[in-house]
Amino acid sequence: MPTTTWQKSSYCAQGEACVHVAATTAETVHLTESGDPAHSILSTTPATFGALLQALKRNNRC
C-alpha cells in the first residue's frame, strides 16, 4: 500500500489548524487538516485545486 506524502501549508500557524496537501496521482489532489489527517480527506482534481488557490489569492485570504 503506497504511503501518502503530505505537505503542510506555508501559511500554517502554530497549533492544530493547518492544511495539508498531497498529490497522489496526476489526476488527484488530497487535502486534510492536521487535527484529523487520516479521517477527513477531501479529494479533487489539480485544476479545481488551482482554481481554489487562485480564488483565495484574489480575496487575500491565502
Beta bridge partners of 25: 28
Q: Where are the domains of the chain?
A: 20-62
Give the three cell numbers for residue 32: 486534510
pLDDT for the residue numbered 47: 95
Task: List, for residues 52-62, the tens digit of each pLDDT value.
Answer: 889 988 887 54
Residue 53, sorted as left (phi over 0), alpha (psi -120 to 50) or beta, turns out to be: alpha
Task: List, for residues 12-50, the tens digit of each pLDDT value.
Answer: 766 667 888 898 888 999 988 876 666 778 899 999 999
pLDDT for the residue numbered 16: 65
Sorted by sequence, the CB contacts under 8 Å of residue 6 that are 6+ apart come out as: 20, 21, 22, 32, 37
pLDDT for the residue numbered 5: 83
pLDDT for the residue numbered 58: 87
